[in-house]
A and B are shown apart, each in its own frame.
Chain A
């Protein structure tokens, strides 16, 4: 191995920075899954009957399902009976009303992660619904949002206060029968975020949630439901990091977005869960179902994701374009280093007329990382004049990693125009030398080259998130080819 590539391997070999575990007393149900556990979860959350029934239907359906086998990911079998399906911080009963009531240990955790909640509250104008393990422990800016009629609260609270909205929309985009992980989530989900923007309202701030997994051996099952009523607009940010640990953790979240006539939802994710160590031990299994439905005419949904964490990512944020003239977008950066695996992409289903979709995917592989783009563009017979443009670019750093592109196209209307472009490149030794010859340190150079590669995606992130995402890439990678 040449000196440069050796140096680069060392750079790539950086350990995860956000790795630590806090020692909070938590209240965890015993491991295993059966109807009694589901009834207990539902009872603890004081859920109405319809929720319990829905969970049970999901659970019974789940028992008939098998894990999907088609993705390009590999892991030892998951023992679903060895997972604890519910955990809540002890303080749950009292319910903190302000940050000062929070466990100081928890606040310190956020600080270590560089999420100064207090500062955000005061400065950033971002309403933060922080999820610690399964129960939301801090919600801010509620009043301001309430004035506009915006509902932004933990999912469990929405179930109590707005059961009619939950009942109408829950599972209407991702039904409880959808897929193995989504069905499991439907049965056992513990909490998440709920957001409703009333007709004609433009949400004046970015809504944001920080997720974190902290309980040993606890699967995390979040459920997010966002509804933008007619003519409404909302931009939602989801970001997360996780503590170091050596056991695999299953994370199977579901996010449903619904945009009615003329509504727009922008959903951005920065995902930085523990990816496992250099040898591929530990790390989060991130098996997520995210789907949006452009239900109304002229509606617009965009997904932007920066995926740098998790041992395995299985995730296809998709859009169903039902309304005429509706628009779906997917912008993605997925980075795999060490032994990380990502099988990610999107599904754009064109149903309405004159519907348009754009897919821009940037995959970066380093170390032994495996990165698969999997996309489906589906144009149904009624989708006159549908348009899709897809671009998938892969960047390889080093010789042991892999990039795979699997675009599927199904067009059943002759007026459709579907374009696909793909490229694979390597961070050239030449590019790197050009930078170092100008005095730029190799790690900075790689970070710069990768950021450049991802620029078109970052442009779709809100400013402060873009900066964070760029930093994250730098931290997750800082190295390149030999």
Chain B
């Protein structure tokens, strides 16, 4: 589904990603861990189509397309979803309207009819219920004045409504209380599907106890320095990232 080869990229002349190789197949769940500033969000945002990064080498194929050649909205319409580490506020635009615009542009691309307001509202309500969200967040402006946890859940709500093929969740677990974490993890697990891949960026082993990944990668200084099965996350929790570096050096 996703194949990243020797990706080098940076911003303002500073290289941040220094040769990433990563393959994700449909049905898989990958976790990406790594110290602060190692390039996890950069990778996620670059994949999602954020403007401003300079790609100096490498390629990214997504569903047999040249991902880097597509504008962000085309990637989204092709089923790529990013749950933002820092969800953005849009004053005056209701959450419901925003989701409607998003869903309908994606549906349009897929040749489906636009959902009318009633069906859409029902869909959103159902998903919100699953995520333990207050319906009152629907008429409120997108993320404006939302608590940290509400923002994160709102990202998962959008993912649940938009039903992407490849979902990248950038630290969606950060800032969630334990109950919320369980609910969100259930939400994500509910979306595991043979036709869908999920990439979790996280600092915490705790999330991976609820959502057990097929592969764990460690990103350090712009490179994937180690990949392994779910146990790798547990070892990291015990020994810290320094341990990976030491092992590598050894």
**Which A positions have Cβ atoms within 8 angstroms of B?**
2-5, 7, 428-431, 433-442, 444, 448-449, 451-456
Contacts and interface: CB of A to CB of B under 8 A. Distances in A.
Question: What is the interface of chain A mostly: helix, strand, loop, or mixed?
Answer: helix
A449 B93 contact: yes
A440 B90 contact: no
A344 B162 CA distance: 42
A454 B102 contact: no
Interface string B45-66: 1001111100000000000000
Contacts of A430: 88
A434 B73 contact: no
Interface in B30-86: 45, 48-52, 71-73, 75-77, 81-82, 84
Question: Which of B72, B105, B106, B158 has its CB near the most chain A CB atoms (within 10 A)?
Answer: B72
A434 B87 contact: yes
A439 B105 contact: yes
Interface string B81-113: 110100111111100011001110110010000
B90 A434 contact: yes
Contacts of B88: 428, 430-431, 433-434
A70 B100 CA distance: 46
Nearest to B87: A434
Nearest to B79: A439
Nearest to A3: B51
B35 to A, nearest CB: 24
12 contacts: A5-B51, A431-B90, A433-B49, A434-B90, A435-B102, A436-B71, A437-B48, A437-B50, A439-B77, A440-B102, A442-B73, A453-B92
A395 to B, nearest CB: 10
A454 B93 CA distance: 10
Contacts of B48: 433, 437
A177 to B, nearest CB: 42
Contacts of B82: 437
Contact of B73 (A3, A441, A453, A456): A441
B141 interface: yes
Contacts of B162: 438-439
Nearest to B161: A438
Contacts of B103: 439
A428 to B, nearest CB: 7
B92 A456 contact: yes
B247 to A, nearest CB: 36
Contacts of B73: 436-437, 439-442
Interface residues of B, number: 33
A453 B93 CA distance: 8
Nearest to A430: B88
Interface of B: 45, 48-52, 71-73, 75-77, 81-82, 84, 87-93, 97-98, 101-103, 105-106, 109, 141, 158, 162
A439 B102 contact: yes
A149 B241 CA distance: 84
Given A435-B90, A437-B81, 13 more contacts: A428-B88, A433-B48, A433-B49, A436-B76, A437-B76, A440-B73, A440-B105, A444-B101, A448-B93, A449-B90, A449-B93, A451-B93, A453-B92
A4 B49 CA distance: 10
A439 to B, nearest CB: 4
Nearest to B93: A452
A444 to B, nearest CB: 7
Contacts of A436: 49, 71-73, 76
A59 B154 CA distance: 64
Contact of B92 (A4, A7, A435, A451): A451
Nearest to B141: A452
Contact of A453 (B77, B91, B105): B91
A429 B45 CA distance: 13
Contacts of B91: 452-453
Nearest to A448: B93
A96 B244 CA distance: 88
B72 A437 contact: yes
A429 B97 contact: no
Contacts of B52: 2, 4, 429
A4 B71 CA distance: 9
Given A444-B105, A448-B101, A433 B72 contact: yes
8 closest A-B pairs by CB: A452-B92, A438-B102, A452-B93, A439-B76, A455-B92, A436-B72, A434-B88, A4-B51
B166 to A, nearest CB: 12
A437 B84 CA distance: 10
A452 B90 contact: yes
B145 to A, nearest CB: 14
B55 to A, nearest CB: 12
Nearest to B50: A433
A437 B106 CA distance: 11
Contacts of A448: 90, 93, 97-98, 101
Question: Which of A433, A437, A441, A456 has its CB near the most chain B CB atoms (within 10 A)?
Answer: A437
A444 B98 CA distance: 11
B77 to A, nearest CB: 5
B197 to A, nearest CB: 17
A422 to B, nearest CB: 15
Question: Which of A5, A430, A436, A451 has its CB near the most chain B CB atoms (within 10 A)?
Answer: A436
Contacts of B141: 452
Contacts of A444: 101, 105
B105 A441 contact: yes
Contacts of B98: 435, 438, 448
A438 B95 CA distance: 12
Contacts of B84: 434, 437
A7 B72 CA distance: 12
Given A3-B51, A430-B88, A433-B50, A440 B101 contact: yes
Nearest to B158: A438
Nearest to A429: B51
Contacts of B76: 436-440
Contacts of A441: 73, 105
B167 to A, nearest CB: 12
Contacts of A5: 51
Contacts of B105: 438-441, 444
Nearest to A450: B92
A46 B45 CA distance: 71
A444 B89 CA distance: 17
Contacts of A4: 51-52
A437 B49 contact: yes
A479 to B, nearest CB: 14
A35 B82 CA distance: 71
Question: Which of A3, A7, A428, A441 has its CB near the most chain B CB atoms (within 10 A)?
Answer: A441
